[in-house]
């Protein structure tokens, strides 16, 4: 009987330079060459549309690199998996599924799979929690019965459709959000993985056996169609019989994924988790300060909350527990759309905004029209607002600590004329007179032009965008 891996990962595993190997912004020359070749193959076979004057590429570089990492940067091998996934997405109408899934069905599926805590580790990677002990036979029988009644619209069984939607939420909502929030290390690399705490305490052998197909579905789906979205799995509370079941559990994963699984003893839990995440982001039951258990609404960390404005406080639960995706706006802000269906009727609603100043700091502005045009016609915002409305109240805005912004700013902006002011961050306000404190006066609501200098935090020359959710983007596969 093969013993399962035990003990925490090496101390170096929590270092950014270790994790970033093979990621956007940190590719070697040979890996960059492999990415170019991979794109060429995908385009020639009709599975990829490069960026052009008519629009962005069909797939962002971060997604493509995940397939390359999964296949050791061998372009032909990566293409084989990429092709299978794209055809699988088309056959199961994955984009349309996420847009139309019943919101109650989605939330029910969320309750029986790993859930985002709303927190990130020290590297900006989202942290998920899976308390297997809460999946008792009664709950699983009810879930299985409900999914059995659903009609599958593709070759995959109906029970898998809701699981698909949860993975889509990871790539369309959680990862873009975590990528765009300022203050994280290495903003040149999009967040494209997750950390998972899997609690199997109080789980008996019979319960494990009954859950085997349920857990196997999730692991095999990720391996086949969402490669390299896993950074680490920390298994907590492993029972004495766990070595017995490890033999069939490890068959669900490929060798690379298996190497990312770490089984922690009771004494190893807090020290190991603390090496990867702040104590404030560790659930209380594992030695941290976070009041979170599976079944609760994600507890969004302050850095993320300070970047967001909800359209209404009543929409918070829908925003965090329903199918949601991001859309890049012409003003450089990211809008969260709640999608799905309610009582058989399509639902689409703006629920939150990730403010442009936050998005621009996180991405170096390269992905947004504001910086591409280097100017914007519209009502002039402040260089950085002192506060923004979040959940119906005003809160102070955190100041991102980039090297350029840590320099002391002059007390007053430079005023070169009655109609122009140069603010401390280098932005030039034109077309309107200004107050002594540098804030523009708007006359009759007339918009003004802002000329934005190159951002101080430059990101790598790559494309990063919210994954497409429009089914027409798969037209080339039909």
pLDDT at position 362: 47
Residues 464 and 59: their CA atoms lie apart, in Å, by 9
The first and second tokens of residue 448, run together, are: 């003004």
pLDDT at position 149: 63
pLDDT at position 452: 38
Q: In this structure, are residues 133 and 203 in contact, taking their beta carbons and an 8 Å threshold?
A: yes
| pTM, 2 dp | 0.75
pLDDT at position 154: 60
The first and second tokens of residue 453, run together, are: 């200098």
**Alpha helices (runs of H) in 181-254, residue ranges in sequence order:** 205-225, 242-249
Residues 144 and 139: their CA atoms lie apart, in Å, by 9
pLDDT at position 339: 93
Q: In this structure, are residues 159 and 147 in contact, taking their beta carbons and an 8 Å threshold?
A: yes
Q: In this structure, are residues 257 and 265 in contact, taking their beta carbons and an 8 Å threshold?
A: no
3-class secondary structure per residue, 96-125: HHHHHCEHHHHHHHHCCCCEEEEEECCCCC
What are residue 341's DSSP bridge partners?
Answer: 102, 346
The first and second tokens of residue 218, run together, are: 């999730």
Q: In this structure, are residues 440 and 448 in contact, taking their beta carbons and an 8 Å threshold?
A: yes
Over the chain (478 residues), the average pLDDT of each successive run of 10 is: 66 66 94 97 95 86 95 97 95 89 92 94 95 80 69 64 89 92 86 94 85 79 90 93 84 82 94 95 97 94 90 92 86 84 92 75 36 28 39 43 39 42 42 43 42 36 42 30
Q: In this structure, are residues 24 and 460 in contact, taking their beta carbons and an 8 Å threshold?
A: yes
């Amino acid at each position: 009987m093969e013993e399962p891996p035990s003990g925490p990962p090496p101390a170096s595993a929590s270092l950014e330079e270790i994790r970033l190997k093979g990621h956007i912004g940190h590719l070697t020359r040979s890996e960059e060459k492999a990415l170019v070749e991979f794109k060429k193959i995908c385009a020639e076979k009709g599975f990829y549309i490069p960026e052009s004057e008519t629009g962005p590429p069909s797939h962002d570089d971060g997604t493509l690199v995940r397939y390359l990492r999964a296949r050791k940067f061998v372009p032909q091998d990566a293409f084989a998996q990429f092709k299978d996934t794209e055809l699988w997405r088309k056959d199961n109408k994955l984009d349309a599924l996420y847009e139309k899934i019943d919101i109650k069905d989605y939330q029910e599926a969320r309750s029986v799979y790993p859930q985002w805590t709303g927190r990130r580790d020290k590297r900006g990677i989202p942290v998920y929690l899976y308390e297997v002990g809460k999946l008792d036979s009664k709950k699983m029988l009810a879930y299985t019965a409900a999914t059995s009644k659903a009609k599958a619209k593709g070759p995959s069984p109906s029970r898998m459709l809701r699981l698909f939607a949860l993975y889509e939420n990871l790539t369309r909502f959680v990862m873009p959000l975590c990528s765009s929030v300022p203050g994280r290390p290495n903003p040149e690399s999009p967040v494209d993985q997750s950390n998972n705490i899997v609690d199997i305490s109080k789980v008996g052998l019979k319960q494990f056996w009954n859950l085997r197909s349920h857990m196997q579905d999730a692991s095999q789906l990720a391996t086949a169609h969402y490669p390299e979205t896993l950074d680490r799995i920390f298994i907590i509370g492993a029972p004495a019989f766990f070595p017995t079941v490890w033999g069939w559990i490890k068959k669900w994963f490929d060798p690379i994924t298996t190497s990312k699984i770490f089984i922690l003893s009771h004494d190893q839990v807090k020290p190991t988790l603390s090496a990867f995440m702040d104590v404030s982001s560790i659930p209380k039951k594992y030695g941290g300060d976070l009041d979170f258990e599976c079944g609760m609404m994600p507890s969004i960390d302050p850095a993320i909350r300070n970047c967001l404005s909800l359209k209404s406080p009543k929409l918070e639960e829908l925003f965090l527990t329903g199918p949601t995706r991001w859309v890049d706006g012409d003003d450089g802000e990211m809008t969260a759309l709640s999608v799905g269906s309610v009582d058989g009727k399509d639902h689409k609603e703006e629920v939150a905004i990730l403010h442009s100043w936050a998005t621009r700091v996180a991405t170096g502005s390269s992905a947004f029209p504001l910086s591409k045009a280097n100017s914007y016609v519209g009502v002039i915002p402040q260089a950085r607002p002192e506060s923004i409305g979040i959940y119906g109240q005003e809160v102070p805005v955190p100041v991102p600590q980039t090297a350029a912004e840590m320099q002391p700013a002059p007390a007053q902006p430079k005023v070169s004329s009655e109609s122009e002011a140069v603010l401390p961050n280098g932005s030039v306000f034109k077309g309107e007179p200004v107050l002594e404190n540098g804030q523009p006066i708007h006359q009759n609501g007339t918009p003004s032009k802002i000329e934005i200098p190159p951002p101080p935090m430059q990101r790598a020359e790559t494309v990063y965008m919210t994954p497409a959710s429009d089914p027409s983007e798969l037209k080339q596969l039909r």
